[in-house]
Amino acid sequence: MKKTVIILLISACICTTLVCGQTNDQLTNEQKAWLSKANRHEKNGWIYLHIEGMPEERGFQHGYLLAEEIKESLRILSEAWYYRTAIDWKWLVQKAGKMFIPKIDIENLNEIEGIVEGMKAAGNMTNRDEIITYNGIAELWMYWWPSVKDTISPNSHDPKKQSCSSFIATGNMTTDGGIVLGHNTMMTYYFPLCNIILDILPEKGYNILMQSFAGCIHSMTDFFITSAGLVGSETTIGDFFLYDGKGVPEFDRMRRATQYASSIDEWCEIMKKGNNGGYANAWLIGDIKTNEIARLELGLNQVGFEKKNDGYFVGSNVAEDLKLLRFETKTQETNIKSSSIARRVRWKQLMKDNVGKINLELAKKFESDHFDTYLNLTKPGGRTLCSHDYLDSDINEPFDPSGTVDGKVVDSKMAKQMSFEAKWGSACEIQFNAQDFLNKHPQYDWMNGLIKDRPEQQWTLFKAGETK
């Protein structure tokens, strides 16, 4: 009897290996050599992935070591897309491939193909067009799709545009005169998890350490540092309505700028060239070599740019450039009942009250702030810097399952060491339980199996080149 059980267990293990992918012996010597340079480990809700080398090999490392996470992300996106639009996921994949492939830089395309091959070696089938669609999902779903949907699926429901909170300060604003940058990501909870810390050491260009999604060659949440001395984040420009399908996708430009730019101006020039209006953002960029900070507001036809050595920039999804605000958005910038305006007011209060005091610990407090400037009291909800829409009945869609999913901070000293701190789950201490939420709000039962728990985690240090 015992012998039979042992045989069954061994057979199960062999079957699991065959389903999950190739064994180490089935990989080519070249693939084994590629994987020997990579490193994956997990800390406090985050998955850290180090990849390096030529585009194909770092893509293979990425696809192989995050195969299960990429597979799950594609499952979530395809199911959510179908529910929201009633159109097959394959339709979007075909459209995206035709639109994007001719415009993607060859190095980025080769890295994407490497991800596909790594996925296949791990036993998960996908194709180049699907990974391209995944990388471009923000602009496809929230910018391209609204421009065509009325003739295809008029009652489709667009996902809430990513609504992040961020600031960057330098000079007289900080305790040591250096740069301090803070950012938290706010998104709908049925989207794939953005809990990847991606450490990219390319054969050409600069080392990048950034937050990302499994399977993405860019950040998409857009928090990064590079060995060129650049730090950066962004917040989506709210109520933006333009898109040019003839331009270069944002994810391609973001990756090239971050990998190859050595200064703020170079980074911004790469982002502007071929701009298509997709994923229109206000970028907060700093250069630790000069302690300069800048804000690039990249619309479609309108571009706002400011740079300074003293002071701050904040982001809360409101365009600050007046022409961009008036010509390319529908934002009512005085309506403090809206999240973006309430958070904008709060940022300015915090900056005014903390001149010369800003450091990493204060940045963490800012990112977890729950003061509602509309209600004029501390109450976690959809209008606070650390957002919790799912707790709020007084918003456009009551109890919308979205909000803050993380917190990240970095200063000049950390950036020189290619490191930053990050907190997964929420920038504050509030936890989200998916099943409890669905029980209380059955109108969202279609999200069962898509939204995940967000347990409390702690602030964690990450550094480029770490091994555990």
Torsion of CA 107, 112, 118, 122, to 10 degrees: 170
Q: Which two tokens stand for residue 85?
A: 């639009």
Q: Which two tokens stand for residue 375?
A: 């209600």
- Contact call for residues 89 and 77 (beta carbons, < 8 A): yes
DSSP, res 22: -
Q: Where are the beta strands (DSSP E) in 368-418?
A: 371-372, 377-378, 402-404, 406-411
Please tell me the distance from the alpha carbon of residue 423 to that of residue 408, in angstroms, as a whole number. Answer: 6
> Under DSSP, is residue 271 helix (H, G, I), strand (E, B) or coil?
helix
Would you state the pLDDT for residue 160?
Answer: 63
Neighbours of 345 (CB within 10 A): 16
- Contact call for residues 382 and 400 (beta carbons, < 8 A): yes
Q: Where are the beta strands (DSSP E) in 272-332?
A: 281-287, 292-298, 303-308, 311-315
Please tell me the distance from the alpha carbon of residue 148 to that of residue 127, in angstroms, as a whole number. Answer: 25
Specify the amino acid at residue 70.
Answer: I
Domains of the chain (ranges; CATH) run 36-149 (1.10.439), 165-462 (3.60.60.20)
Q: What is the pTM of this model?
A: 0.93
> Under DSSP, is residue 428 helix (H, G, I), strand (E, B) or coil?
coil
pLDDT truncated to tens, each residue of the chain (468 aa)? Answer: 434 433 334 344 433 333 345 667 799 999 999 999 999 999 999 999 999 999 999 999 999 999 999 999 999 999 999 999 999 999 999 999 999 999 999 999 999 999 999 999 999 999 999 999 999 999 999 999 999 999 999 999 776 666 799 999 999 999 999 999 999 999 999 999 999 999 999 999 999 999 999 999 999 999 999 999 999 999 999 999 999 999 999 999 999 999 999 999 999 999 999 999 999 999 999 999 999 999 999 999 999 999 999 999 999 999 999 999 999 999 999 999 999 999 999 999 999 999 999 999 999 999 999 999 999 999 999 999 999 999 999 998 999 999 999 999 999 999 999 999 999 999 999 999 999 999 999 999 999 999 999 998 999 999 999 997
Would you state the pLDDT for residue 163?
Answer: 78
Using alpha carbons only, give the angle 464, 119, 209 rounded to the nearest 5 degrees.
15
Q: Which two tokens stand for residue 91?
A: 């339709």
CA atoms 149, 155, 156, 159: torsion sign:
positive
> Under DSSP, is residue 230 helix (H, G, I), strand (E, B) or coil?
strand
Q: Which residues pair with 218 in a beta bridge?
A: none
Residue pointed to by tokens 């949440």 = 221
Longest Cα–Cα distance in the chain: 79
User: How far are the Cα atoms of 90, 109, 140, 243, 428 from residue 112, in angstroms, in the given order?
Assistant: 18, 5, 17, 24, 35
Q: Which two tokens stand for residue 50?
A: 């180090």
> Under DSSP, is residue 460 helix (H, G, I), strand (E, B) or coil?
strand
Would you state the pLDDT for residue 297?
Answer: 98
Relative orientation angle of helices 67-85 and 89-100, to the nearest 10 degrees: 110
